[in-house]
A and B are shown apart, each in its own frame.
Chain A
């Protein structure tokens, strides 16, 4: 049993300090009002205690000025909390463009982690300090939640969807990973460790790991093995649309809707291929539900993201 009595988890990411400051700010505001109200009530109950059995209170019905004041003050303070919280939330929701990408899949009751270079681990995640890391999350069965208290980050792993979180570690050390969304018998055993290393140690660790091919390589192999390539030809002559440059682009569907082809769009198009049909094509693609695992999906998506549009014919390619 530890002898110290911590009130904060380890502070090991770039957002952790701001999170703690926001927490302390709200704590201070709340403590001020709690103590004020308790002190006022304590004072009144003693000062205005009933002195004779038939005593009654003064004939006071209210004061519009006072009531407007104590409607206005909590409103303003709560808006300050909202503003600060929203700004931190948007920071947490916007991974930097240069972030390295890890793939994490939750299943009852383990976390499977894959590094971009292809090294895999289970219930452990090695990351370097000083570099933003974007975690792409999937789930193979029920809801899970990837929670790293030392980094102050948390995101649900939702079956049927791709979700993301990001962090940048600042302190070398070993920290908890918890599953924070209830998932059955061994929910509390679905835990692991983040091992934060110096960049040099991280490179050495990666070099010592057994790579099973990078995510992109695996995705490319799947793209061929599953025969995606026979319809999704690069030159738009196939029975399906070309996927060059599709990621991040706006796609027009047969019903006229326009959608942005993000990770969840790609995922849905593979697993539930009839949901959104691209204008000008027929809904002839089979579903790959049950044929590809969550990890395969993340690999396929990683590969499709690398498919860049060819330079326009005869034009000045950038």
Chain B
């Protein structure tokens, strides 16, 4: 940590201008990032409460806590809220919004008003989702499979579909804004191969957002048309095909997994370079692996349909392409590890989060191989093995990276430091609690416990109790993190411009927190990213 005396910064984006209206009508990408941060935290808490209900019900084999219909709503709403209103916007809309312009040396995103509009669309979508929760809930599973969703469900399916539809436009606009900004607004000298890898990851994510999200919008529209107006699309009784829905749904929703994890990979690349004070090993491989994952991600949707009556030859193609996704993911992991070789590795709190990420992402990624393997997927699909796998990727990977990034950039975003020992404790609690929650679910899955079960045979109880115990620790870890971060806003030590001694425009060229237009003078870039060995580190 720094010993240099620090002063309260002059004007920062946080205090000029004042007042609630200045926030709600702001065009500043940093303020919009903070608005997003507050909103997604609220939805994360709501989604977490639903998870609490699920885990408490599953403590015992009998469905004795809530009735079956209530349980079905709990897991459905947990999924819908966490995916559409937390995970998809999480890193792009907060850290991305805040740091994409700064990292490319720009004053703001290309379209500041559209950026504000995207936050409002998100909020409107969120309010519609809460209206669906209040008006009868939703019991279709977050996957909305037909014909259950169009013919059988008695819950607010149309409202919930409308909510996801609306929130989708918010992510299309964010993606569009990032792509234009990265193409057109890079500072002089900031060539593509000098960009921080976080930017490459955001770029790849943005491509998925603008190409994939319209498909879910169309799919949900077709679903609403069948449910509300009786258009024959998916229900076989009126001439439709229920499996068609699954194809359309996963054509977006599989790439959506990469919307959640690619930005996390970008964050981790930044963190690994900074904690090791070293150039990323194989920069070009890491950059292109993001694009490879984004492109291949569009060609694997059918791996969700191996037992759906999809042609077995289609199954072969989807399986082999899915295997190929493992390759760029493995490359990234090996390159991160290799970056640490002969580094100068710190043991400050971001290190805890990033190492936690690598452990959980490794398990999440590797268990994807089990599910991509055709014969084995017959046994594993629709069981708790799948639940465990995607939580390792989307919670273990994406949230760990999000929190790692938040801890790393918190001093820049808020101008305050948080208590290091508590941050380390929180990272450890989350890591331990997470593994205890979800590792037993791999075992449950192979034993045959299906997903979305309100009641289960008694032989599955031991592992379920372990899982609920782990979830309690996980919840404490998240809660602790929320408490000290909020505390730090008022009481935290004032942060210097560059507390970690890191490279990057956000650390070297802006104060903490930045001024409204980020830079005091025009930025000219003369060196590659992470050029630790080439120049002296400006610490503090």
Which residues of A approach B to under 8 Å, CB–CB?
1-2, 5-9, 18-19, 22-23, 26-27, 29-30, 33-34, 37-38, 40-41, 44-45, 48-51, 53-63, 66-67, 70-71, 74-75, 78-79, 81-82, 84-93, 108, 141-143, 145, 147, 149-150, 152-156, 158-161, 163, 176, 178-189, 191, 271-272, 289
Asked if B19 CB lies within 8 Å of chain A CBs, one says: no
Give the residue of B359, B446, B455 whose beta carbon is less than 8 angstroms from that of A188: B455
Min CB distance A124 to B, Å, is: 16
Asked if B462 and A1 sit within 8 Å, CB to CB, the answer is yes
Asked if A108 and B534 sit within 8 Å, CB to CB, the answer is no
Measured in the bound complex, the distance between the Cα atoms of B153 and A26 in whole Å is 39
Asked if A50 and B452 sit within 8 Å, CB to CB, the answer is no
Min CB distance A13 to B, Å, is: 11
CB contacts (< 8 Å) of A44 on chain B: these are 337, 340-341, 343, 345
Asked if B455 and A93 sit within 8 Å, CB to CB, the answer is no
Min CB distance A11 to B, Å, is: 12
Q: Which residue of A lies closest to B76 (CB)?
A: A182
Measured in the bound complex, the distance between the Cα atoms of B278 and A45 in whole Å is 13
Give the residue of A22, A78, A87 whose beta carbon is less than 8 angstroms from that of B323: A78
Asked if B492 CB lies within 8 Å of chain A CBs, one says: no
Known: A50-B277, A159-B236. 20 other contacts (CB 8 A): A30-B370, A37-B358, A38-B358, A41-B355, A44-B341, A48-B276, A57-B344, A60-B279, A61-B279, A74-B327, A78-B323, A78-B326, A88-B376, A89-B316, A89-B319, A143-B148, A150-B448, A153-B378, A188-B453, A189-B455
CB contacts (< 8 Å) of B362 on chain A: these are 33-34, 37-38
Which of B69, B141, B452 has the most chain A CB atoms closer than 10 A to its own CB?
A: B452
Asked if A56 and B345 sit within 8 Å, CB to CB, the answer is no
CB contacts (< 8 Å) of A67 on chain B: these are 282, 285, 331, 334-335
Q: Which residue of A lies closest to B331 (CB)?
A: A71
Asked if B37 CB lies within 8 Å of chain A CBs, one says: no
CB contacts (< 8 Å) of B69 on chain A: these are 185
Asked if A147 and B375 sit within 8 Å, CB to CB, the answer is no
Measured in the bound complex, the distance between the Cα atoms of B342 and A1 in whole Å is 52
Asked if B369 and A78 sit within 8 Å, CB to CB, the answer is yes
Asked if B457 CB lies within 8 Å of chain A CBs, one says: yes
Min CB distance A140 to B, Å, is: 10
CB contacts (< 8 Å) of A90 on chain B: these are 312
Q: CB-CB contacts of B187-228 with A at 8 A, as 1s and 0s?
A: 000000000000000000000000000000000000000000
Give the residue of A30, A161, A180 whose beta carbon is less than 8 angstroms from that of B383: A180
Asked if B374 and A88 sit within 8 Å, CB to CB, the answer is yes
With contacts A40-B337, A158-B308 taken as known, whether A187 is within 8 angstroms of B72 at the C-beta atoms is yes
With contacts A78-B326, A86-B375, A142-B148 taken as known, whether A180 is within 8 angstroms of B450 at the C-beta atoms is yes
Closest 4 CB pairs of A and B: A160-B236, A149-B448, A88-B375, A57-B278
Q: Which residue of A lies closest to B355 (CB)?
A: A41
Asked if B379 CB lies within 8 Å of chain A CBs, one says: yes
Q: CB-CB contacts of B288-329 with A at 8 A, as 1s and 0s?
A: 000000000000000000111100100110011001101100
Q: Which of B464-509 contact A (CB under 8 A)?
A: 501
Q: Which residue of B lies closest to A178 (CB)?
A: B450
Asked if A185 and B68 sit within 8 Å, CB to CB, the answer is yes
Measured in the bound complex, the distance between the Cα atoms of B276 and A60 in whole Å is 12
CB contacts (< 8 Å) of B536 on chain A: these are 54
With contacts A71-B327, A163-B309 taken as known, whether A82 is within 8 angstroms of B373 at the C-beta atoms is yes
Which residues of B approach A to under 8 Å, CB–CB?
63, 68-69, 72, 139-141, 145, 147-148, 151-153, 235-237, 239-243, 276-279, 281-285, 306-309, 312, 315-316, 319-320, 323-324, 326-327, 330-331, 333-335, 337-338, 340-347, 351, 355, 358-359, 362-363, 366-367, 369-370, 372-379, 381-383, 443, 446-448, 450-459, 461-462, 501, 532-534, 536-537, 539
Asked if A70 and B334 sit within 8 Å, CB to CB, the answer is yes
CB contacts (< 8 Å) of B533 on chain A: these are 56-59
Min CB distance B347 to A, Å, is: 7
Measured in the bound complex, the distance between the Cα atoms of B235 and A56 in whole Å is 62
Measured in the bound complex, the distance between the Cα atoms of B343 and A154 in whole Å is 49
CB contacts (< 8 Å) of A289 on chain B: these are 237
Asked if A149 and B379 sit within 8 Å, CB to CB, the answer is yes
Give the residue of A2, A41, A150, A158 whose beta carbon is less than 8 angstroms from that of B340: A41
Q: List 26 A-B contacts (CB under 8 A).
A: A7-B447, A23-B446, A26-B373, A30-B369, A34-B362, A34-B366, A40-B337, A48-B343, A49-B347, A56-B277, A60-B341, A62-B338, A67-B334, A70-B331, A85-B374, A86-B319, A88-B374, A89-B316, A141-B151, A142-B147, A142-B152, A145-B382, A149-B447, A155-B309, A179-B450, A183-B148
Min CB distance B197 to A, Å, is: 13
Give the residue of B243, B335, B539 whose beta carbon is less than 8 angstroms from that of A158: B243
With contacts A37-B362, A163-B309 taken as known, whether A182 is within 8 angstroms of B451 at the C-beta atoms is yes
With contacts A74-B326, A159-B236, A187-B72 taken as known, whether A86 is within 8 angstroms of B316 at the C-beta atoms is yes
Asked if A9 and B375 sit within 8 Å, CB to CB, the answer is no
Measured in the bound complex, the distance between the Cα atoms of B69 and A141 in whole Å is 18
Asked if B281 and A54 sit within 8 Å, CB to CB, the answer is no
Give the residue of A7, A56, A153, A189 whose beta carbon is less than 8 angstroms from that of B443: A7
Asked if B373 and A6 sit within 8 Å, CB to CB, the answer is no
Give the residue of B243, B281, B454, B501 whose beta carbon is less than 8 angstroms from that of A53: B501
Measured in the bound complex, the distance between the Cα atoms of B398 and A248 in whole Å is 50
CB contacts (< 8 Å) of B370 on chain A: these are 23, 26-27, 30
Asked if B501 and A54 sit within 8 Å, CB to CB, the answer is yes
CB contacts (< 8 Å) of B335 on chain A: these are 62, 67
With contacts A26-B369, A81-B323, A141-B152 taken as known, whether A9 is within 8 angstroms of B447 at the C-beta atoms is yes
CB contacts (< 8 Å) of B455 on chain A: these are 188-189
Measured in the bound complex, the distance between the Cα atoms of B139 and A66 in whole Å is 50
Asked if B453 and A89 sit within 8 Å, CB to CB, the answer is no
Measured in the bound complex, the distance between the Cα atoms of B379 and A277 in whole Å is 39
CB contacts (< 8 Å) of A85 on chain B: these are 319, 372-377
Asked if A62 and B337 sit within 8 Å, CB to CB, the answer is no
Q: Which residue of A lies closest to B342 (CB)?
A: A58
Asked if A187 and B374 sit within 8 Å, CB to CB, the answer is no
Give the residue of A37, A88, A181, A189 whose beta carbon is less than 8 angstroms from that of B333: A37
Asked if B278 and A56 sit within 8 Å, CB to CB, the answer is yes
Q: Which residue of A lies closest to B383 (CB)?
A: A180
Asked if A154 and B307 sit within 8 Å, CB to CB, the answer is yes
Give the residue of A58, A86, A88 whose beta carbon is less than 8 angstroms from that of B278: A58
Measured in the bound complex, the distance between the Cα atoms of B242 and A160 in whole Å is 8
Measured in the bound complex, the distance between the Cα atoms of B236 and A279 in whole Å is 25
Asked if B351 and A45 sit within 8 Å, CB to CB, the answer is yes
Asked if A158 and B277 sit within 8 Å, CB to CB, the answer is no
Q: Which residue of A lies closest to B447 (CB)?
A: A9
CB contacts (< 8 Å) of B282 on chain A: these are 61-63, 67
Q: Which residue of A lies closest to B321 (CB)?
A: A82
Asked if B236 and A89 sit within 8 Å, CB to CB, the answer is no
CB contacts (< 8 Å) of A150 on chain B: these are 448
Measured in the bound complex, the distance between the Cα atoms of B365 and A33 in whole Å is 11
Measured in the bound complex, the distance between the Cα atoms of B279 and A90 in whole Å is 47
Asked if B278 and A54 sit within 8 Å, CB to CB, the answer is no
Give the residue of B72, B153, B323, B378 whose beta carbon is less than 8 angstroms from that of A152: B378
Measured in the bound complex, the distance between the Cα atoms of B355 and A142 in whole Å is 44
CB contacts (< 8 Å) of A189 on chain B: these are 68, 455
